[in-house]
Every structure is written in C-alpha cells, then in structure tokens.
Amino acid sequence: MLVTLAATASPGTLDDATDLGFLLHKHPDRAQVFDLPVGRAHVFYPEATEERCEVALLLEVDPVGIVHNKRFGGGDAFALAQYVNDRPYAASSMVAVALGKVFATAMAGRCDARPDLPDVELPLDVHVPSLPCRGGTDLARRLFEPLGWHVTATAEPLDPTVPAWGASRYVDLRLHGTRRLADALAQLYVLLPVLDDAKHYWVSTDEVDKLVRAGGGWLADHPERAQILRRYLAHQRRYVEDATARLAALDGAAPADVAEPDGGGSLDGATSPEADAPEPPLARQRADAVLGVLHEVGARTVVDLGCGEGALLRRLAADRTFTRVLGTDVSARELERAAARLRLHDASDAERERVRLLQSSLTYTDDRVTGFDAAVLMEVVEHVDPSRLDALAQAVLGHARPRVVVVTTPNAEYNVHYPNLLDGPGGSRVRHPDHRFEWTRAELRAWADAAADRYGYAVEHRDVGPLAPDVGAPTQMVVLTLDGAAPLGGTAATGSGTHDGGEAR
C-alpha cells in the first residue's frame, strides 16, 4: 500500500519545500519505520529539494498477523478470504490507520519547531496508485472535489491483456490543491475507507470520536455527508446517529441538517420537517419510549430480543429497577461486542447473574427466554424474512409468552421525507441494507392485531418521534399485553410517545 504527498515551494507559502519535514515531524534525510497493529509503515522522501518535497507512506501489511488480531482479523481465522485478499496491495482503511498513527501530530495541526507552519495553505499533490473504490471514479470526484481538490481518477483495467473485461474496482487517484496539511491528512484519513466501503476492523464508539475530530471542520457541509457517515461507520445506525448529533452540535445545526441517514442507510437521526427546534436523535427517543413503557407496566425482568451490540441493554443494565436482564442475538460477534460494551468481563458475579447474554434465534422456540415480565423487539422485525414472521410470533407470543411485548419498527410512510434511501426488496425504498421490508402503519396494525388475536394479547399502537402531517412519525410502536394476566405492579399505560388511537383494544 502506497500513498505519496508532495509540497511545492511558492511565494506566500513555503520558501523551502523541505519545510514539509517540520510539519510531518519526519526528517527528509532519514527513512523511518513504525510498527503498527496492521503491519509495518515506512516513511521516506523520494524527493527533497528546495523547490519540491515528496513524502511516501509505504505500508507492509502482515496478513497472518491481522487474522490473529481480534480487532482486525475478525472471528473466522479459517476463512480463505482472511488470507487471500487485496490487503497487501490496495490503499484501504488500513492505510487510514497508518496515516492516523504515523502523522498524528501533523493531523492535529501542531508544529512546535515552526508554530507558524500549520496554518499555511500549501500547494499539495497527493497520489494513491491503487485505491479500492466502490462507486468508481465518479464517487472519488464527488467526495474530493467539493473540498477544493482537483481530482484525476483513472479506473484500472481488470486485466491489461484482456481489454474486453473492462475496468476493475480499483482507481489511480491523484489530487491537487492548496490547503493546510492538517486538513489534507484529515480528509484522506476519513475518505480513503469511505471509498473502499469495507473497514477491515471492528467499528465502535471510538470511531465516532475519530470521525468527529477529523471531519469537524468540513464534513457537516459536505454534499455527500450522508454516504460518508454510513460508509465510514460501517453502516452501523447507532453510531451514525451519534456522529450526526455531534457534528450538528459543532456546527450549530439540527441533526437533520447534518446527515439524513443513520447507520446502515437508515435516516433515524432526522427531525420533523416542521420542527423549529432540534430533536434528540431518534435512537434516543426510541429507547426512551421503550423504557417508558417498561416502567409504566412495572416490569422487573426484561429480555431484549435481537439485542445487537447492546445499545438498549446498556440502559437496562444501568437501571436498578430491572432485577434480571437478558439480551439475545443470533450473532456471536454482536454478543461479544455487547459484552464489551456492558463491561461484563469486569463485572461482579452478582452483576453477571443479573445481566446475561445468550445466543438465540428469534424464529425458534427457546425455553431460556420464558418467564420474563417483558420482551422487547426494538428495530428487529424488519430484519426478519416475511415468510418467517409467523414463526417469530409463535416463538415470542406463543412460547415465551411474556406478559408485555414491546415492538418498534420504521414507519414506511414517513420515508417520503428521506431523499437518499436505499433500494429494497420489490423496488421499495428502505433505511437499512438488511431490512427485508418496512411496514406502513396499516400493515403493522394488521400484523400486530392478527398476532394478538391468535395468542391472546391486547394491543396498543403508538408513535415515536416527531409527527408529520398525513404520514405519522418515523418510528411506530406496538405494546402487546397478555389478556387476563395480573398487573405487574405499574400504573396503567398512558403512553410515553404519541398515541394514534388512544385506547388499547
């Protein structure tokens, strides 16, 4: 993997192009080597004259070491793709890791030896000879040109000896522009993995911090900000919502004015089209509404079905009202992340007994999820194939039979307010690439009412988030209560969100 950056001396900028070495904190007369989690990074200067100074970052990836690294290699060390891939040859997200580590001080805009230099805008040339680009040369231009770069992107042939095979997904990228070195490095740090759209390591809340630091000065106004947030944060809705809100706070704008999608193509960070004041991120409103229902009904034991990385579990665990909390997910990797998020490995024996994680499928009966006061399916049902929804209802309402079930799911009618949705099944437009469907309010009502009738539950419909005329709220909720069950000890449900009909049937 190779990236080069060159500065040219010109009046008003650099009298001596080798001053680039001061900014980078790397002497032009020495080659340096840095050991990184992904391999070894070499920094050297192919050219260093008063007129022009070019620095090269060469990353030697250690494929076997990456496979054995839990953060970078993933869980399946025996998969052939872990060993046979383009990592050693193409400038992917691992180059961004190297840039952030090797040039951290330059990216922060500090130079103690020459404190005047970081604010100087330099004539810069950047060259990335082999860059994976999911979106082709057009996407490269759309990402860099709004930032003031002159972009030359050339698609590499799939096989130079067989022109008929056409272009590969790799481009030769050249950028030319005049800007601060810190800004140029920050933009490369963010946009290289965006072009690749395949981060080679786990994405966590730390990545939100890094994105806000690197993109705080330019990302909020970028016309492709929605796609940048989605791709940089590996399509993780909860992290995109967090980044959206934090960028909005930096820019003084409402979250909806910063980025439409939340993680993975969802647009849950948006506010009502008629809202005059910023709304909290929809993810927070949704979790607040779910917790509100659980407190209303007096639940003490709760199972979070399809808990993912544990966003809701963290709030359930922090609330001592709940004496037993169980999170289930079909993905072992998601459960590992949830355990890390909840710090279960460092928790006391009593806390690990109170808060537990379990690998389980939503569509199969499981005795281990029975006996709870309440079950939550928050943004889960839309990830299930429609043909398996009857099995889900049987497993949850028919077998587990908690006294209260809380379900939230996107409202497809509200999608008219989201201009950048993804293509979904059957030509529909959806908020997340893994959504198998998104229901209208009538479709959710029909499914919930039928399931409630079949398994002996009463059902109440609510809205979550800002209401828009004619289409309702971005998230819809149903609360199903087992007919004839004794009260759990809470007050009658009056609604933490907005009711669409008032009374439960």
Per-residue buried b or exposed e for 422-448, using 16+ beta carbons within 10 Å of the residue's own CB = bebeeeebbbbeebbbbbbbebbbebb
Query: What is the per-residue pLDDT for 271?
Result: 38
Please check the confidence at residue 86 and state whether its pLDDT lies above 80.
Answer: no
Measured distance CA(244)–CA(194) in Å, rounded:
16
Which range among 170-179, 241-250, 295-304 shows the weakest confidence by mean pLDDT?
241-250
**Interstrand relation of 39-48 and 52-61 (parallel, antiparallel or unpaired):** antiparallel
Please check the confidence at residue 498 and state whether its pLDDT lies above 60.
Answer: no
pLDDT tens profile 89-98: 666 778 888 8
| Count of C-beta atoms within a 10 Å radius of residue 349 | 7
Per-residue buried b or exposed e for 117-151, using 16+ beta carbons within 10 Å of the residue's own CB = bbebebbbbbbbbbbbbebebebbbebbeebebeb
Q: Which of 101, 115, 114, 113 is nearest to 185 (CA)?
A: 101
Element (H, E) at 41: strand 39-48
Please check the confidence at residue 128 and state whether its pLDDT lies above 60.
Answer: yes
Which range among 370-379, 409-418, 474-483 shows the weakest confidence by mean pLDDT?
409-418
pLDDT tens profile 353-373: 999 999 999 999 999 999 999
More confident residue, 252 or 4: 4
Residue located via tokens 């060159």: 6
Q: What is the pTM of this model?
A: 0.50
Please check the confidence at residue 329 and state whether its pLDDT lies above 50.
Answer: yes
- pLDDT above 70 covers what percent of the chain? 81
Q: Can you tell me the mean pLDDT for 174-185?
A: 92
More confident residue, 60 or 458: 458
Measured distance CA(365)–CA(363) in Å, rounded:
7
Confidence grade of residue 451 (pLDDT, cut at 50, 70, 90): very high
Query: What is the per-residue pLDDT for 63?
Result: 61
DSSP string, 414-458: GGGG-TTPEE-GGG-EESSTT-S----HHHHHHHHHHHHHHHTEE
User: How far, in Å, are 57, 122, 291, 497 from residue 118 at the CA level?
Assistant: 20, 10, 48, 50
Confidence grade of residue 170 (pLDDT, cut at 50, 70, 90): confident
Asked if residue 273 lies in contact with residue 295, where contact means CB atoms within 8 angstroms, the answer is no
Residue located via tokens 């609330």: 319
Q: Can you tell me the mean pLDDT for 233-258?
A: 66
Query: What is the per-residue pLDDT for 252?
Result: 42
Contacts of 244 (CB under 8 A, 6+ apart): 229, 255, 258, 259, 262, 269, 281
Confidence grade of residue 123 (pLDDT, cut at 50, 70, 90): very high
Which range among 15-24, 130-139, 171-180, 424-433 shows the weakest confidence by mean pLDDT?
424-433
Query: What is the per-residue pLDDT for 98?
Result: 87
* Mean pLDDT, all residues of the chain: 82
pLDDT tens profile 191-228: 988 988 765 556 667 788 888 888 877 888 888 988 89
Q: Which of 432, 280, 306 is nearest to 358 (CA)?
A: 306
Measured distance CA(28)–CA(22) in Å, rounded:
9
pLDDT tens profile 4-15: 999 998 877 788
What's the token pair of residue 280?
A: 């909290």
Query: What is the per-residue pLDDT for 503?
Result: 37
Cα R_g (the chain), whole angstroms? 26
Asked if residue 263 lies in contact with residue 232, where contact means CB atoms within 8 angstroms, the answer is no
What's the token pair of residue 383?
A: 């990830």
Asked if residue 107 lies in contact with residue 100, where contact means CB atoms within 8 angstroms, the answer is yes
Please check the confidence at residue 384 and state whether its pLDDT lies above 90.
Answer: yes
pLDDT tens profile 389-439: 999 999 999 999 999 999 999 999 998 887 666 677 777 788 887 889 999
Q: HSE (CB half, 13 Å, CA atoms) of 431?
A: 31
Query: What is the per-residue pLDDT for 73?
Result: 47
